[in-house]
Amino acid sequence: VDVEGGLLADEAAAGNEAWLTSVLRGRPFVLWKYAASLDGRIAAADGTSRWISSPESRADVHRLRAAADAVIVGSGTARADDPQLGARISGLSDDEISQPLRVVVDSGATAVKAGARVLDGTAPTLIAVAEDADATHLDGLAPLLRLPRAADRRGLHIPALLQALHQRDVRSVLLEGGPTLAGAFLAAQAVDKVVGYLAPVLLGAGPAAVGDAGITTIAQALRLDVTDTARLGPDLRITATPLRPALHEEN
């Protein structure tokens, strides 16, 4: 019997990316999703952002949520949008949809208040706060995850966050945070796939899709491989992965 190994290795890895990432990297697979104008703005200069993307794009995001074990946002998004973060899919009842764990990265324990939509009981919620944060006002509202601060003290230590989620059997994460949290994940080299929804609109000012990611020169730019493009209503969805060794080539 002739046996050949390694056939269609890239295709097999792509179909098992979440599981392979969790096994080989010891952390959940992270998909960063964002919606932006054609000039890269996620909100207007006055902070308004609803809605940059089309209904078709927003429906697609709910599909991504339902496929993920957890959805993560930061304190800025929690304050500005009061997101509910549940998955809703047309034609399916709530019982037919797998709801992700909702994670709010709220370092100082100041963004989530009683009555926040993320505490509505639709899905489990976890609030990640700094080890030294005063979170007594959150007692009884949601489970807390206490983590060390990042080295620059401006947020939480991203590898520790992902390790803690991995220990809770979270194997895939949808990162929906704003530019600060996205920059922190990119700086930690903790983004495995990017899905960007680009709307045919120009804003000219306002926050960019990603903040400080530790990139100071073009030589440090994170290069991506575009793996898919699709039209969703008037929007363009671009899927890309960072150029790094393939999962099946590691170890």
Residue 63 domain flag: yes
Distance (Å, rounded) from C-alpha 204 to C-alpha 39? 7
Under the banding of pLDDT at 50, 70 and 90, the label for residue 21 is: confident
Kindly give, in sequence order, each residue whose CB lies less than 8 Å from that of residue 216, ignoring residues fewer than 6 positions away: none
- Average pLDDT, rounded, for the chain: 88
Count up the domains in the chain and report the number: 1
Rounded mean pLDDT, 185-198: 95
Instruction: Quote the domain boundaries for residue 147.
Output: 25-249
Distance (Å, rounded) from C-alpha 168 to C-alpha 100? 13
Residue 8 domain flag: no
Residue 111 domain flag: yes
Rounded mean pLDDT, 185-206: 93
Residue 204 domain flag: yes
> Shortest CA distance to 13 belongs to which of 168, 244, 177?
244
pLDDT tens-digit readout, 56-76: 999 999 999 999 999 999 998
| pLDDT value, residue 71 | 96
- The rounded Cα 11 to chain-centroid distance in angstroms is 23
Higher pLDDT, 85 or 193: 193
Distance (Å, rounded) from C-alpha 210 to C-alpha 29? 19
Residue 2 domain flag: no
Residue 135 domain flag: yes
- The rounded Cα 4 to chain-centroid distance in angstroms is 38
CATH number of the domain to which 54 belongs: 3.40.430.10
Residue 188 domain flag: yes
| pLDDT value, residue 13 | 67
| pLDDT value, residue 23 | 87
Under the banding of pLDDT at 50, 70 and 90, the label for residue 172 is: very high
Under the banding of pLDDT at 50, 70 and 90, the label for residue 241 is: very high
Length reported for the chain: 251
pLDDT tens-digit readout, 112-162: 888 899 998 888 999 999 999 998 888 888 899 999 999 887 889 999 999
